[in-house]
Structure 1
Amino acid sequence: MKILIIGGSGVIGTKIRNILQKDKVELFSTYMKHKLDSKNDFFLDIREKDKVEKLFLKIQPEIIIHTSAITNIDLCEDDKKLADSVNIKGTENIIKLSEKLNSKLIFISTSFVFDGKQSSYNETDLTNPTTYYGKTKEVCEKKIIDSKLDHLILRTDQPYCWIEPWQHTNSVLRIINTLKVKKNHKEIIDWYNSPTYVPDFVQITQKLIDKNKSGIYHVVGSEYISRFEWAEKICENFDLDQNLLIPIKSDELRLSAKRVNVNLSNKKIFNELGIKMMGINDGMKAMIKEKMF
């Protein structure tokens, strides 16, 4: 089986690549800025339809895992043209070539497709994004569903793990790196998330591929918690000084995109796969164990 990972040098792409390499698959990946050490890595700007077509026809992948996007929520709000060109137009190019090859498309989406008005959301609830980033993801979800392609749409929230030097940081590493040098860290008390340990997310993705599942899945951690409470748990697990945490409200940051609190239910994962996704303490214990080896 040939699998192509779009965005293979990103955080999620790298972790997916690492676990799938252990399977009996022929693995290919694309990158924009950082080439990984493999003859099966190819530079690709997904906005360039001709280049997408040339690569897809060369590889003839049976499964395409699309992890590439502009995920900076405020950048998407400030530069909608850029967000459209990458998140929407780029994904449209991938959909069209997936249709041409009859490939299965796995698309990484987000909790931001919802408006936060419900206490929790399952996979069948109606989307209604409040940010432009969320809007771009909603548009792509609908295009994939309307395409009639065999697909998986995996919505996640606040992914965290150890990263490579070239990759974007995350909330856990940001707090560790600030507090370990004894600097104060401002953390938000009115944002709530379901933090997701990336290797856990990747394990579920692998299981869904193995079982040939299709449709939408919420692949998120099992705890819904405020950012400040999450920061306190990070301090407890990594033996950091909680007194360096400064609680603030989100409106003090004056960000371009107004976030809403969205609680994604992951019950479908448990019901269909029998796997309970990690909570925060288990995820961070796994990080600590990983660092020891």
Structure 2
Amino acid sequence: MKILGTGLDGLVGSRIIELLSGKHEFENLSLSTGADITDRNAILQKIKNSDAQIMLHLAAKTDVDGCELDKPLGEKGDAWKINVFGTQNVVDGCSESNKKIIYISTDFVFDGTKEAYSEEDAPNPLSWYAKTKYEGEKIVQTSKIPWIIVRIASPYRAVFKKLDFTRAILKRLQEGLSVVAVKDHIFTPTFIDDIALAIDVLIADNLQGIFHAVGSQSLTPFAASILIAKEFSLDSSKITETRRAEFFNNRAPRSFQLALKNDKIQRLGVKMKTFEEGLREIKKQGII
């Protein structure tokens, strides 16, 4: 299967290519290859010129606090231009060239008022970042093309140039530095290799709809930090707890109960690892 993708240079997209390039052919539409999803005419032409059957759309502005700074600018800000107008351009290109779209979204679309969220629960975004990603979801859902929305959460992997949550904590502990982690915030860290496997299965089974490709363990950043120290035999006394009100003071509003259910994707035979299982796997692969 030939897959046209945006954001394939990033943390998640580059790992998807590494793991699935033996089964699928990837064509990368990114700034590094001269493609800008906010340049409507250019991106429409590139999508229409591709003979790929599927569009994997990952490109987004994901800096939650950076997106919040764009909020006063509304549609003129980068967050809206990239996450909303850019997604509309990608969807329109797919519509004009009969391509199925797989849109990568986020757990942040939920408001954190429920204990755990399934695919059937209605989003209620709190931050500007979450709002723009949910607008992207709606654009995809109201399109006339076959679509899949894959929501992911706090992705991590063994090797990448940019640090994710897991490797950032690990790096500080390895350097003997202190770690301050929130104890009253629930999140769902997700091993990126499992996201890649989930996408592969969704493609193979020719499915449509919304799927949560997230880890099988929801916990606090403080508990996650303790597990990292334990798995890598590091000093957990360097880890101190804080409260979300203090840690996220003067930052973008966030949902603090972000446990997502992954039963739907696991019923397809995709094993989404717990955080502890994911840590063992990245330790085996070699952390960088």
TM-score, scaled to structure 2: 0.94
Paired residues for 1:213-252 under 5 Å: 213-252=207-246
CA distance in 2, matches of 1:128, 1:8: 28
Matched length: 280
Match of residue 74 from structure 2: none
Give the alignment of 1:63-142 within 5 angstroms. 63-80=54-71, 81-142=77-138
Residue 159 (1) aligns with residue 176 (2): no
Letter of the 1:19 counterpart: L
Alignment gaps of 5+ in structure 2: 72-76
| Structure 2 Cα separation of the partners of residues 250 and 230 of structure 1 | 15
How far apart in 1 are the matches of 2:114 and 2:60? 27
Work out which of the residue numbers 276, 280, 283 in structure 2 matches 1:288: 283
Q: State how far apart, in whole Å, the 2-side matches of 1:255 and 1:268 are.
A: 36
Retained in 1: the 8 A contact 2:214–2:272? yes
Distance in 2, matches of 1:163 and 1:202, equals: 15
Q: Counterpart in 2 of 1:178? A: 172
Do the aligned residues in 1 keep the contact of 2:147 with 2:209 (CA within 8 Å)?
yes
1:78 and 1:256 in contact (8 A); partners too: no
Task: Please give the alpha-carbon distance, in whole angstroms, between the structure 1 residues aligned to 2:212 and 2:157.
Answer: 18
Shift of 1:19: 2.1
2:28 equivalent in structure 1 = 29
Pick from 168, 174, 184 the counterpart of residue 190 of structure 1.
184
Alpha-carbon separation, structure 2, partners of 1:109 and 1:182: 35
1:59 to partner: Cα distance = 1.5
- 1-side partners of 2:160 and 2:8: how far apart? 12
Contact 1:5–1:28 (CA under 8 A) maintained in structure 2: yes
Q: What do residues 96-119 of structure 1 show as CA deviations (whole Å, max 9, x unaligned)? A: 101001100001101111111111
Aligned to 1:38: none
Secondary structure, aligned partner of 2:176: coil
Q: Is the 8 A contact 1:6 1:68 kept in 2?
A: yes
TM-score normalized by the length of structure 1: 0.92
Query: What amino acid maps onto 1:31 in structure 2?
Result: S
User: 1:5, 1:17 within 8 Å by CA — same for their partners in 2?
Assistant: no
Contact 1:74 1:255 in 2 (8 A): no
Moved more, 87-96 or 254-263: 254-263
Shift of 1:269: 1.1
2:60, 2:211 → 1: CA distance?
Answer: 19
Shift of residue 60, structure 1, vs aligned partner: 2.9
CA distance in 1, matches of 2:260, 2:198: 16
Query: Counterpart in 2 of 1:39?
Result: none
For 1:79, what is the secondary structure of its paired residue?
Answer: helix
CA-CA distance at 1:277 after TM superposition: 1.0
RMSD: 1.3
By how many angstroms is 1:159 displaced?
0.5
Aligned partner of residue 288 in structure 1, secondary structure = helix
